[in-house]
Chains A and B, each alone.
Chain A
């Protein structure tokens, strides 16, 4: 690490990242000029429906894109002042598991079935600090498991993954991910495979772990409830592109892209009665068959048949509100659109889409 580091510099900055894959229709871009930043201590959520490129973005940052098949074809990824795309495989491996760590969706398959939980945590610790003795690493593993709320950690540390439930395995993975006090935690759908009461436990553990490690977090999820609860800022992806970025508060109260609004009006609510849902018509685009112009135009309610949406691809551009960006030619009309839609959904939904 360079000795003098600018404290204002983001932990992670991704600029115009392009990932290319080969498909039966030819070359395609599951990630197409994606840009976002994660500041120190901040939690940034990437949201979007399946196939929109969330996981590919995360894998590109981690240097773990599936090989062969997928490759970075453009852009820059800077992590605490270093250009990740210029690093060797060995250097990347050193960063992963220490300065940058990850938690995946399927906790059970992310663990190695032939080693005990304790051995796997010890390995992560010893890889980072070769001077650590085995007994010391095991003691530290027990501490970490206790920190993430594994009851009876000192006896359970010697068990194998198949003796643990999904929620317990996810705790073990969180323990491993924070073991070396990372600067950035990347969590891809960390609770999607879990039941809701177990999800509540794991989110609490994740929050506590973030706090102790002081880690910035890139959280990937399709669950807007999890976003609202965990994220400071949100990046909305559609068809491989970023269509909107804003604070979590703004995404829910004053979306400035029609797709973001469509996600919110599609969402049944546990906390209020809605008169009806307003689904987005049609289907998300398939890789290699992204519509021309604005990729959202075949499904867009705001388009109102205007040719510009088909002719011209809207760039992700800053809008008046500070720090916000959206990729829509007609984002100026979004304020009215939000008001109209909220009225149609029923009075209660103003708690969700408050207008403005």
Chain B
């Protein structure tokens, strides 16, 4: 596995002095901080009058990745491919069917809820829809303070000071702590969501489509904020998105998911310049270019058919029902996610190497 660094700005935490009188112990930049191995999340399918379990929906089916400190890993793929389920399992907001989740040496997959609470301070999550992820009856200041109280970080004066500092940090007015969610726009609420996630001073943020609900001008503000925060605080991001343009702009490494599996993963530059997996190639070519002269429509690979159901995925390579390169072998043998010679990119395709143009 590649453990290279990608020139992320210094992981220094100076300038964000914690009023809580405690500096969290910081991982060295590049040190693997989060490691997910063979994660499986299967949801039971129930049917009939008695709602008996008659099958399993393989939402996440053998996902592995590592996240080095201070870096951004993009998890991309189309609707239903298992991105959010992966995030929820890593957060242990749902229990994985199998697999290991290691955070700084702790095996979270084996921890009890109680043990989790202490460790989880280091991993926080930001959701797509800021309206539904904040309680409308609670002031934004109290929402931001809540994780501090849960983790017993500071007395009430210290918490108030920390909330004000967090509001500053995300570009909101510190005097607005007493306002309610409905008094903010979508973009401002997403800043509140980020402040809340930053409150307990985590090392990892899991961001599930954090800019997908926002207009383009606001989206650019939040992307820029996330980049600033990362270089100031040395945060690692697991950045989940279906938007390949946003991922290109913000990520160091990219993992492409299809039907519950990672089909290709590697350095951002390699993936965007020379993707080797047919699915990644078609995904990239499908994005309309904002450039009328070179729209890319003429060279586009338009896939046939729809994404199959994860309740009944195709045998062998899951992409084979839509793949223009598929051969008999693809139906019989599941391609492993393996590194290609001369690159740090791993691709799960029997014919990946021969696809480079």
Contacts and interface: CB of A to CB of B under 8 A. Distances in A.
A268 B291 contact: no
Nearest to A226: B288
B307 A228 contact: no
Contacts of B242: 195-196
Given A151-B305, A196-B283, A198-B306, A229 B288 contact: yes
A264 interface: yes
B80 to A, nearest CB: 9
A273 B307 CA distance: 30
B307 to A, nearest CB: 7
A224 B293 CA distance: 13
Interface size band for A: 35 or more
Given A196-B244, A229-B297, A271-B296, A263 B287 contact: no
A262 interface: yes
Contacts of B215: 49-50, 222, 284
A269 B248 contact: yes
Contacts of B282: 197
B291 A196 contact: no
21 contacts: A151-B304, A168-B306, A195-B242, A195-B307, A197-B78, A200-B302, A201-B302, A203-B288, A222-B215, A225-B290, A248-B292, A263-B216, A266-B219, A267-B216, A268-B245, A268-B246, A269-B290, A271-B291, A273-B248, A279-B218, A279-B223
Contact of A196 (B78, B188, B246, B305): B78
B156 interface: no
A278 interface: yes
Contacts of A262: 217
B287 A225 contact: yes
Nearest to B246: A268
Interface in A197-223: 197-201, 203-204, 222-223
Interface string B222-253: 01100000000000000000111110111000
Contacts of B218: 49, 279, 283
Contacts of A227: 290
Contacts of B224: 276-277, 279
Given A195-B79, A229-B297, A269 B220 contact: no
Given A50-B215, A203-B288, A249-B293, A269 B249 contact: yes
State the main secondary structure of chain B at its contact with A.
helix
B1 to A, nearest CB: 25
A243 to B, nearest CB: 13
Contact of B289 (A151, A271, A284): A271
B79 A197 contact: no
A196 B304 CA distance: 13
Contacts of A195: 78-79, 242, 307
A95 interface: no
A225 B289 contact: yes
A313 B290 CA distance: 30
Given A165-B306, A196-B242, 11 more contacts: A196-B78, A201-B302, A225-B290, A249-B293, A252-B292, A263-B216, A269-B248, A271-B291, A277-B224, A279-B224, A283-B187
Contacts, number: 139
B310 to A, nearest CB: 14
Nearest to A194: B79
Interface residues of B, number: 46
Contacts of A263: 216-217
A352 B290 contact: yes
B183 to A, nearest CB: 12
B303 interface: yes
B122 to A, nearest CB: 28
Contacts of B187: 283
A274 interface: yes
Q: Which of A224, A225, A227, A277 has the most CB of B within 10 A?
A: A277
B315 interface: no
B105 to A, nearest CB: 35
Contact of A201 (B272, B283, B303): B303
B97 interface: no
Contacts of B79: 195
Contact of B221 (A203, A224, A281): A281
A114 interface: no
Given A195-B307, A201-B303, A268 B248 contact: yes
B197 to A, nearest CB: 21
A112 interface: no
B185 interface: yes
Q: Which of A151, A201, A278 has the most CB of B within 10 A?
A: A201
Contacts of A280: 217, 220-221
